[in-house]
Amino acid sequence: MAEGAVRELIAWMKILLFTALIVLLARQFLFEPVEVHGTSMMPTFQEADKVLIVKLSDIENFDIIVFKTPGDRNFIKRVIGIPGDRISMADDRLILNGTPVEEVYLEENRNLAREQGLEKLTENFGEFTVPGGAYFVLGDNRLNSVDSREIGFVLDHAIIGEVKLRLEPFENLGAIE
């Protein structure tokens, strides 16, 4: 092999190694693809949808996050309350900091519940304040979701990231708002 070919091969190997290192670092600290398991976020997400999470994100009300449970499972849920928020539920209406909130992402599930003879998706609960360093999360499929109503608050160190993009199914590819 000619000396020039060896140098070119080494140069390409350095480029590939550098690229692999950048990809690994980005995946470790910035982005991560995640597959949705279960039906707790239907109809927003279906079983086996693939999403991209951003690990460096300021979490706000109604963001969708992925977090680790105490049993070391990844859950995907919608953030309803951030630290300091006052939350209650009355007659299937979320009250956030004293103001009723229209949860438009629940309309499809509300219609399905009515068709099945159910009056509401979410049982009433009295007002509480989300403590510092914690978040109150609910699944969009309120009738079939293990969320903060059962597992309690999600601590900030358990949050892996915020869902920003749907990757699959490809026909639904796009940003999550």
Active-site hit among 40, 50, 145, 164: 40
On whether the CB atoms of residues 40 and 78 are closer than 8 A, the answer is: no
Whether 88 sits among the annotated catalytic residues: the reply is: no
Active-site hit among 57, 77, 145, 148: 77
DSSP state of 38: S
On whether the CB atoms of residues 118 and 57 are closer than 8 A, the answer is: no
Q: What are phi and psi of 151, to 5 degrees?
A: -95, -5
Spatial CA neighbour of 38 closest among 30, 47, 29 = 47
Q: Name the residues annotated as catalytic.
A: 40, 77
